[in-house]
Structure 1
Amino acid sequence: MQPTWLLALSWASLAVGVVSFAIVLADTYLYGHRQPVKVMEIVWLVTVLYVGPAAVCLYWKWGRPEALSPRRRDDQPRRPHRGIILTQVSRCGAHCALGFIVAEVALYAVRFDPAQNGLWIAYAGDYLAAVTIAVLFRLFEGPPRSVAQIGHALTTVVKVELLTITAFEVALFAWLTLAHHMVFPEPTLRPDSPTFWFAGQIGLIAGFITAWPAASWQVGRGISVAPR
């Protein structure tokens, strides 16, 4: 059994994420600030879910549709370089976060035990799920789906997003390894515990920070997922 203070902290952190999610959800669908690239609505909702209030501030500054306007009235670029990088990291981070949730829940459903089967199986599932979701996002934001489109979406993900996704996942997996073996060794972290998802939040935030240099390098070379 986890200590009471840790359970309370875990529930509080998850609650803050849910409140942040609700704020952006209301701004998007109740107040009509819809994204021109629809998958970005999912991206921002997922980002604030694990980053919390800091991501809400970033959304308010660079994520709302007004921030996508290419120029202000004084004809100066509206979105600075770091705003484009933020879009890159947030999108790849959403793939990783959704991949983490989907893979971990699926493994738990089939009674996967990290203490017996090895964490590398969970990590492989998380990574493959993240890449698969990245490809699906590409498919749903493009023209009608076809076999050729699947190949094009996969190629685009490899070229534009795979480096940032990989950097994000490396940091996530490094933290989860520490969490399982050193920080929260007993009892074993499993998806039926709020502490597991709290640890996941920390890992995803670490991934977000770690992926920033990779995204910055790609944006500097003109490789970006930023909406036009």
Structure 2
Amino acid sequence: MQPTWLVALSWVSLAVGVVSFTVVVADTYLRGHRQPVRVMEIVWLVTVLYIGPAAVRLYWNWGRPEAFSRRRQEGQPRRPRRGIVVTHVSRCGAHCALGFVVAEVALYVLRSDPAQETLWVDYAGDYLAAVTIAVLFRYVGAPGRSVTKVWHALSTVVKVELLTITAFEVALFVWLTLAHRVVFPEPPLRPDSPTFWFAGQLGLIAGFIAAWPAASWQLDRGPRFEERRQGRR
């Protein structure tokens, strides 16, 4: 069994994420601060779920629609550079977080021997699920008919998000490898344990931090984010 203090810490961390999630849910749906792009509501809810109060602060400063209305009234740009990067990393991070949850649970259920550790299979599943979710999110908001929408979603993810998603996933996988092999080697981490999800939270936070330079670089040298283009209209 995992040490009692570690199990307790895991539950506390998960509970803090749920409380942060509840705060943003209340602000979005009870107070009526809906996102102009509806998929961003999912993005911010997922982000606060794994980062916690720090992500609530990011949401309050850069994700809440009212924040941009206030800045416009004060004569500031609608979407400052930092806000663009925060939004982009949060969106890519939501893809990775959802992909992590979906893939890990599915592989655990489908695996014939739960005790068998095949981390590379898990990582491949996590990455493919993250990219698939990214394409689905883009598909929902893409214009045109079905075939056109699929192509638009794929090309947008490749041009705008794939680099950031990859940087996020690499940091997540490095941490998960350390967690499985060094930090929490016994008993093995599995999705039926709160410690597994606590380790996942830490990995997703590491991924968020690691993805920031990639997103910033892409803002400076790569294709401009859609949010920036919208802010100039």
Q: Which runs of 5+ in 1 are unaligned?
A: none
Displacement of 1:56 in angstroms is 0.3
Which aligned segments of 4 or more residues in structure 1 are displaced greater than 6 angstroms? none
The within-5 A match list for 1:133-148 is 133-143=133-143, 146-148=146-148
**In 2, Cα distance between the equivalents of 1:169 and 1:185?**
21
Paired residue type of 2:106: A
Q: 1:39 to 1:11 in 2, by over 3 A?
A: same
Q: 1:15 to 1:112 in 2, by over 3 A?
A: farther
Displacement of 1:147 in angstroms is 1.9
Displacement of 1:72 in angstroms is 1.9
Q: Partner residue of 2:181? A: 181
Displacement of 1:143 in angstroms is 3.1
**In 2, Cα distance between the equivalents of 1:97 and 1:31?**
26
Paired residue type of 2:227: A
**In 2, Cα distance between the equivalents of 1:225 and 1:119?**
35
Q: Partner residue of 1:60? A: 60
Q: 1:47 to 1:40 in 2, by over 3 A?
A: same
Alignment of 1:89 with 2:89, yes or no, is yes
**In 2, Cα distance between the equivalents of 1:112 and 1:10?**
27
State the aligned residue count.
Answer: 228
**In 1, Cα distance between the equivalents of 2:179 and 2:66?**
40
Q: Partner residue of 2:227? A: 226
**In 2, Cα distance between the equivalents of 1:117 and 1:87?**
35
- TM-score, normalising length: structure 2: 0.93
Q: 1:17 to 1:28 in 2, by over 3 A?
A: same
Paired residue type of 2:224: I
Q: Partner residue of 1:129? A: 129
Displacement of 1:151 in angstroms is 1.6
The within-5 A match list for 1:28-177 is 28-69=28-69, 72-111=72-111, 116-143=116-143, 146-177=146-177
Indicate the RMSD between aligned Cα atoms, in angstroms.
1.7
Q: 1:115 to 1:86 in 2, by over 3 A?
A: same
Secondary structure, counterpart of 1:226 in structure 2: helix
* Contact 2:89-2:164 within 8 A present in 1 as well: yes
Secondary structure, counterpart of 1:72 in structure 2: helix
- TM-score, normalising length: structure 1: 0.95
Paired residue type of 1:146: S
**Identity percentage of aligned residues:** 77
